[in-house]
Chains A and B, each alone.
Chain A
Amino acid sequence: MLEKTGIPTSDEIEEVSPSKKRLKSGPVAIAECFRQIPCDPCYHSCTAGAFAKFGDINNKPNIDHDKCTGCGVCISNCPGLAIFVVDYNYTEKKGLVKIPYEYLPLPKEGDEVVGLDRQGKEVCKATVEKVEDGENKDKTFVIWLLVPKDKVMDVRNMKVGE
């Protein structure tokens, strides 16, 4: 499926996801990097020691979700833009998804946008909670999206609403 369409299967997502318990206990990074490629900046960017050391540069990232603080420094360091941070209990009513973003125009904080899933389908409305400046991060911006809690594992992109 992934090889044919670019869309990972639910099993593949499950495999890299933190436990339900961890998901609910604070922000956590998820590396949706499913195939071996020679690449390791995520490991080098992590200050919490959550990424396992790459014995072979072709290894897939392996996050210890208990060590991960969900700081999100890895998001803009991933050349594949494949790392996201989710925070299920960000507020009482809403969850949070942090996504890497390299498109213009940039949304502004407070904007209502449309959350898109892994195939670019609209899944829900989202509110831009924060726009992390990309200028000091080699131009990869990180957008914080407030989404319904049950959509934190679905929203992986956004578009500025019409």
Chain B
Amino acid sequence: MMIYADVLVIGGGPAGLSSAITTAEKGAEVVLVERDDTLGGQLVKQTHMFFGSKNEFAGSRGINIAENLRKKVNENDNIKVFLNSTAQGYYDDGIVGISHHERFKKIKAKKVIVATGASEKMLPFPNNDLPGVYGAGAVQTLMNVYGIVPGENVLMIGAGNIGLIVSYQLLQAGVNLVGIVEADSEIGGYLVHASKIRRAGVPIYTEHTIQEAKGKSNVEKAVICELNDNWEEIPGTEKELEVDTICLAVGLKPISDILIQADCEMAYAPQLGGDVAVRDENLQTTIEEIYVAGDSAGIEEATAAMLEGELAGLSALMDLGISKKISKKQRRKTKENLASLRRGPVGRKIREGLKITKEGNDAGKNRYTHIR
């Protein structure tokens, strides 16, 4: 059976939900496909208050934003939601195959918005496969979705926003946070987050790395050491910490598989976490029918993801000829909001990365030729 739609949105996180709502509110027939059994993506575990502008939910907690978006989706008859469904591939005739309850279903949509999010990066070190070594996302899911603490004494690796936020949530859960290790010479995340953790007495070890995990059947110790300016370990600076949990928050990379498989032109943008689709300022990829939004378009944060979702949705509407005039006006505003969000010093990396996504680069062009 073929399912027909104006817009197919792949991914039910902040970007995908915004795309679905934006397009459906203007009358488009939308299909929303989500791998998980609930909508909301990473928002469902974000218990902290969001930054950003008042217009984009600043000051609200991620969990409440998820609730709000979910409600809008559920109340909109134009959106058909497929949970527990994974998009399997985009085919030449514009059909997307999804697996849904172990059945293969085909969706033929005029426009496809890819909002597949990101996956966590791993860090190589001896014994990183011991039980007790977690990704930060898993720790958040355990604690904030299921109410289970990952351990008693935790070492956090990575002082970006995720490392800092999950650290704070560990403290809130009553877990003993032994410290935060960061290889860079400076804390990468927002310093207000860092100060919040620091005044709870948790040391932040910049210019440090984890050398190895120790333990027989699970993590019993972590060995950390200092790094020099070339990020080389300085012998003699090793420190052993008694921990049963090591939490890795060492970055994210965009989930681009379906874009690559669909043969969108890709570019390597390290500032955005890796390979991302080349697209125009309206988030249209080199394949006319496909748009990207959110972390799958480049690692940023949820407010930007929601705005990108809106932007991709409005672009799809305009290209479909639905509410063209209003969409155009709204799109201009969305773009301005996105630009102002990225204008400051913390947006510098994003701005650099976005330059690459507009122009493309050779690395991206040649990387996937073997797949074709």
Closest to A140 in B: B49
Given A4-B187, A102-B172, A82 contacting B192 (CB threshold 8 A): yes
Contact B51 A80, beta carbon cutoff 8 Å: yes
Let me know if A138 is at the binding interface, CB within 8 A.
yes
Let me know if A110 is at the binding interface, CB within 8 A.
no
Closest to B182 in A: A4
Query: B33 → chain A, closest Cβ, in Å?
Result: 31
CA distance A120 to B200 in the complex (A): 5
Contact A138 B60, beta carbon cutoff 8 Å: yes
Segment from B259-267, B282-290, B320-328, B337-345 that makes contact with A: B337-345
Q: Could you say which residues of chain B place their CB within 8 Å of the CB of A121?
A: 201
Contact A7 B345, beta carbon cutoff 8 Å: no
CA distance A104 to B172 in the complex (A): 7
Q: A-side binding surface: helix, strand, loop or mixed?
A: loop
Given A4-B187, A40-B58, A120-B201, A57 contacting B195 (CB threshold 8 A): no
Q: Could you say which residues of chain B place their CB within 8 Å of the CB of A8?
A: 195
Query: B230 → chain A, closest Cβ, in Å?
Result: 18
Contact B199 A120, beta carbon cutoff 8 Å: yes
Contact A37 B187, beta carbon cutoff 8 Å: no
Q: Could you say which residues of chain B place their CB within 8 Å of the CB of A102?
A: 172
Let me know if B166 is at the binding interface, CB within 8 A.
no
Contact A104 B174, beta carbon cutoff 8 Å: yes
Contact A120 B346, beta carbon cutoff 8 Å: no
20 sampled A-B residue pairs with Cβ under 8 A:
A2-B194, A4-B186, A6-B187, A6-B198, A32-B192, A35-B345, A36-B344, A36-B345, A37-B192, A38-B51, A39-B52, A44-B54, A56-B343, A77-B59, A80-B51, A102-B172, A104-B172, A118-B195, A118-B199, A138-B59
Q: How large is the interface on B (under 10, 10 to 19, 20 to 34, 35 or more residues)?
A: 35 or more
Contact B172 A3, beta carbon cutoff 8 Å: no
Q: Could you say which residues of chain B place their CB within 8 Å of the CB of A103?
A: 171-172
Let me know if B204 is at the binding interface, CB within 8 A.
yes
Q: Could you say which residues of chain A place their CB within 8 Å of the CB of B59?
A: 41, 45, 77, 79, 138
Question: Which are the 5 A-B pairs with shortest beta-carbon distances?
Answer: A120-B201, A58-B344, A80-B192, A6-B194, A6-B198
Closest to A102 in B: B172
Let me know if B215 is at the binding interface, CB within 8 A.
no
CA distance A39 to B58 in the complex (A): 7
Given A7-B198, A38-B52, A2 contacting B191 (CB threshold 8 A): yes
Let me know if B48 is at the binding interface, CB within 8 A.
yes
Most buried by A among B49, B203, B344: B49
Closest to B49 in A: A79
Contact A5 B54, beta carbon cutoff 8 Å: no
Let me know if B241 is at the binding interface, CB within 8 A.
no
Q: Could you say which residues of chain A place their CB within 8 Å of the CB of B206?
A: 3-5
Query: A13 → chain B, closest Cβ, in Å?
Result: 11
CA distance A102 to B186 in the complex (A): 26
CA distance A69 to B203 in the complex (A): 35
Q: Could you say which residues of chain B place their CB within 8 Å of the CB of A138?
A: 49, 59-61, 64
The one of A4, A57, A119, A140 that contacts B53, using a Cβ cutoff of 8 Å: A57
Contact B198 A79, beta carbon cutoff 8 Å: no
Contact A119 B201, beta carbon cutoff 8 Å: yes
| Residues 17-57 of chain A, each 1 if its beta carbon lies under 8 Å from chain B, else 0 | 00000000000000011111111110011000000000011
Q: Could you say which residues of chain A place their CB within 8 Å of the CB of B340?
A: 38, 56-58
Query: B65 → chain A, closest Cβ, in Å?
Result: 12
Q: Could you say which residues of chain A place their CB within 8 Å of the CB of B171?
A: 103
Q: Could you say which residues of chain B place their CB within 8 Å of the CB of A58?
A: 340, 343-347
